[in-house]
Amino acid sequence: MSIPNDRRVLPEPEARPDVVTALGIDEQRGAFEPVRPTAPPAGAPNVVLVVLDDLGFGSSSAFGGPCRMPTADRLAADGLRYTRFHVTALCSPTRQSLMTGRNHHSVGMGATTEMATSAPGYTGFRPRSAATLARTLQGNGYSTAAFGKWHQTPPAEISPVGPFDRWPTGEGFDHFYGFMACEMNHWYPLLYEGTTPVEPTRGPEDGYHLSEDLVDRAVDWVHTQRSLTPDRPFFTYLAFGAAHAPLHVAPGWQERYRGEFDGGWDRLREATLARQKALGVVPEATELSPWPDGVPHWDDLDDDRRRLGARFMETFAGFTEHADAQLGRFVAELEELGELENTLFVYLLGDNGASGEGGIEGTHVEHRLGHGLVDDPADMIAHLDEIGGPASYPIAPVGWALAMNTPYQWTKQVASHFGGTRDGLVVHWPRGITDGGGLRHQFHHVIDVLPTILDCAGIAAPGTVDGVAQQPIEGTSMRYTFADPGAADRRRTQYFEMCGNRGIYHEGWTAVTRHGIPWEMVPSRRGAFRADVWELYDTNRDPSQAHDVAAEHPETLARLRELFLVEAAKYRVFPLDDRVTERENPRLAGRLDLVGDRPSVTFRGATRRLIEETTPNVKNRSHAVVADVDVPEGGGAGVLVAQGGRFGGWALYVLGGRACYVYNYFGKQRHTVRADHVLRAGRHEVRVDVAYDGGGVGRGATATLRVDDLEVGSVRIDATIPYYFSFDETFDVGVDLGTPVTDDYATGANAFTGRVRSVRVDLTAATPERDPEGMRRRVMASH
């Protein structure tokens, strides 16, 4: 028999069994009740939560932008558009707030997972006292599934040995299909189904694209769920990789925009603002915010740079529209199933502002800019038609990011200004919203999504989940706005902080201070936080933060600065941390380092899909890689061990029966050494010793290849990759998954045809070298 449940304790307490009244079933009086799962609230809607990546307020057509997004337009036409909705300025923090209804520092996600430290607000570990939206809906009778980008699990836990309680399936999702990192190659993705690594069976030559794959999987899951459990509502979380770098899309989608951006980013800002005013998503009096110093205007560029810039933007727009079109297929399936009417559809058009990490020129390979290397525009022009395709890993110039954030200042990372934190939000729910096509101008934040969904589902916030008392939800339901466009704001105060950029909103006023510039890849020390200059804006009169009125209202500024200190202390923002590259290194950041002080690590068996955080760090230090292998008759072929891929990494492999080693420097140079003789059948030791020059990070090295202790060749490496090989590629033994490190095995299968008994990595330098000048490249903050 069932017992009453106020849904504040999850999981639902188990019912006591019925009383047995007989020795045998033939004498039993009355039937037993079958055990049933927790029932959802009567009439609870399905929930679909969709997130696009790195989009910006002025990107989508639904908010006046140049990227045609018919699905967003359709949902907005029948639903509501929120014009003052805010996020956190970076990926992981926004997603953690979205899933928990708490501010990002309150749940340990003060920056991205790769920048976690041991400080309370920055650990990267969601506390068990902040159960996710998925766990709450799951505990209230919902079927739950997540597809696409996750980027919330501590990197040290992303391995075949887990633990898995902070993976999607450990945080309330019955099913997961997607990727764990900040970004992913959309042509050759490395994915997970549940916690099991998988790779697509098709490639781009077969028409594969990740965005299409994610929607295919989401559609299949909903079909199965409705067939098997039609009495249970579903929660589908669909987080696209678009339009985060790499900008990957088929040429046909680029062609849709051919020539549309030839006028440049300055004119686009003006045209976008005009459309925004016509739509009513910004007030008529809104002005374009100031253009930042150091970023060229379009007319300052030569013809080649304008041609190159236009292609980057055509790719960005095509990538974005393509993702929205795939979502359109999902919406069509819900409609055909008769589920769209009672589906609460929340469409977040960006997890932060558009990204300025493409620098002044943009880049053919994003990882280069992350290390301070700027592509030569002439070289990029020579490869113009490759942009967006499998041979590229591109990101657009900062000028387009500023245009995509129209009419606001700055970009992703800059939590102080709306360019980094304001994104469009569309809410669609025919059964619960009658003001189709309405605009809502109330001030809201990403922490408000969870309480809104629970409110609409008739579910109380749980007080206890899995035996753990829950910390208060800090968000406010937005449902009060559904029927009343003129309702007074219920979110009157909100702090913002990211990488030292910080601000406070209170009743229309914003006090802000920008501590760094996202596209300065190799900045000098930023200076003391106490020396930062604060600005003040009256957004009731100046909605785009175009006019700093700090000098006119010093008392208001002082009051808001004090309020920031109060809010920041309350939500565990302190101590402020503007380190970037230092936080990428687990030891320097003070977080868990799986390798620790071990001088050597041995891998045996089918070791696959290890991210850099879970492998020995061979960067900026001398090291050796030793493979114990059995070579078949004929000499064998294939990869013994590889790390990284086409755009940076290294590999030890066998080609034509000969042992080889390659070091791939950002896809720009490949330094290769090959043995002269063929390996005979039998057991061998293939070893490479990399002698690092020292004297700083990213310096040169000499790689010496040995077979059975006999030196068979060496190669000089002019410069090495100092900080990371890749965010989407992995360390693999016996094969190179994802994209190939070298063209030597770029076609066909590359798994070693013999047996790899073990691979040992020796770290002969106790600790990686540090940059003696103290320069910090802005690497992980861009993700």
pLDDT tens-digit readout, 62-81: 999 999 999 999 999 999 99
CATH number for the domain harbouring residue 553 = 3.30.1120.10
Q: What is the pLDDT of residue 741?
A: 98
**Using one digit for the tens of pLDDT, what is the confidence trace for 377-401?**
999 999 999 999 999 999 999 999 9
On whether the CB atoms of residues 198 and 191 are closer than 8 A, the answer is yes
Q: H-helix or E-strand containing 217?
A: helix 210-228
Both 361 and 399 in one domain: the answer is yes
Question: How far lies 356's CA from each of 273, 363, 773, in Å?
Answer: 20, 12, 25
Which sign does the torsion angle of CA 573, 577, 580, 583 carry? negative
> Three-class SS of residue 395?
strand
Range of the domain at 472: 46-229+240-426+440-497
| pLDDT at residue 15 tops 90 | no
Name the domain boundary from 466, 481, 497: 497
On whether the CB atoms of residues 521 and 359 are closer than 8 A, the answer is yes
Q: What is the pLDDT of residue 521?
A: 54
Q: How far apart are CA 520 and CA 514, in angstroms?
A: 13
Better-predicted residue by pLDDT, 15 or 450 = 450
| pLDDT at residue 783 tops 50 | no
Both 483 and 520 in one domain: the answer is no
User: Please, what is the average pLDDT of the chain?
Assistant: 94
| 689 in any annotated domain | yes
Question: How far lies 611's CA from each of 190, 241, 608, in Å?
Answer: 11, 18, 9
Both 602 and 469 in one domain: the answer is no
Both 378 and 419 in one domain: the answer is yes
Both 536 and 684 in one domain: the answer is no
Q: What is the pLDDT of residue 313?
A: 98
Q: How far apart are CA 655 and CA 384, in angstroms?
A: 32
Both 532 and 607 in one domain: the answer is no
CATH number for the domain harbouring residue 73 = 3.40.720.10
Question: How far lies 711's CA from each of 25, 94, 646, 706, 714, in Å?
Answer: 80, 52, 27, 4, 8
Both 447 and 511 in one domain: the answer is no
Name the domain boundary from 453, 470, 497: 497
Q: Which of 274, 170, 148, 127 is nearest to 217 (CA)?
A: 148
**Using one digit for the tens of pLDDT, what is the confidence trace for 547-585?**
999 999 999 999 999 999 999 999 999 999 998 767 877
Name the domain boundary from 527, 560, 584: 584
Question: What's the total number of domains in the chain?
Answer: 3
Rg of the chain over all Cα atoms, to the nearest angstrom: 27
**Using one digit for the tens of pLDDT, what is the confidence trace for 28-59?**
888 888 888 899 999 999 999 999 999 999 99
| pLDDT at residue 281 tops 80 | yes
Q: What is the pLDDT of residue 189?
A: 97
Across residues 729-733, what is the average pLDDT? Answer: 98
Spell out the residues 6+ positions from residue 668 whose beta carbon is closer than 8 angstroms to its own.
368
Both 54 and 167 in one domain: the answer is yes
| 208 in any annotated domain | yes
Q: How far apart are CA 155 and CA 111, in angstroms?
A: 13
Spell out the residues 6+ positions from residue 669 whose beta carbon is closer than 8 angstroms to its own.
718
Q: How far apart are CA 3 and CA 555, in angstroms?
A: 58
Kindly report the backbone phi and psi dihedral angles of residue 134, in degrees, each rounded to the nearest multiple of 5, phi listed first.
-60, -45
| pLDDT at residue 607 tops 70 | yes
Both 279 and 297 in one domain: the answer is yes
| 410 in any annotated domain | yes
Both 685 and 738 in one domain: the answer is yes
Kindly report the backbone phi and psi dihedral angles of residue 721, in degrees, each rounded to the nearest multiple of 5, phi listed first.
-80, 120
Q: How far apart are CA 782 and CA 412, in angstroms?
A: 8
| pLDDT at residue 207 tops 90 | yes
Q: What is the pLDDT of residue 782?
A: 35
**Using one digit for the tens of pLDDT, what is the confidence trace for 153-182?**
999 999 999 999 999 999 999 999 999 999
Both 516 and 603 in one domain: the answer is no
Q: H-helix or E-strand containing 449?
A: helix 449-457
**Using one digit for the tens of pLDDT, what is the confidence trace for 112-135?**
999 999 999 999 999 999 999 999
| 116 in any annotated domain | yes
Provide DSSP, 126-172: --TTS--HHHHHHTTT-EEEEEEE---S-GGG-STT---TTSGGGTT
Question: How far lies 153's CA from each of 149, 471, 498, 502, 628, in Å?
Answer: 11, 20, 19, 25, 33
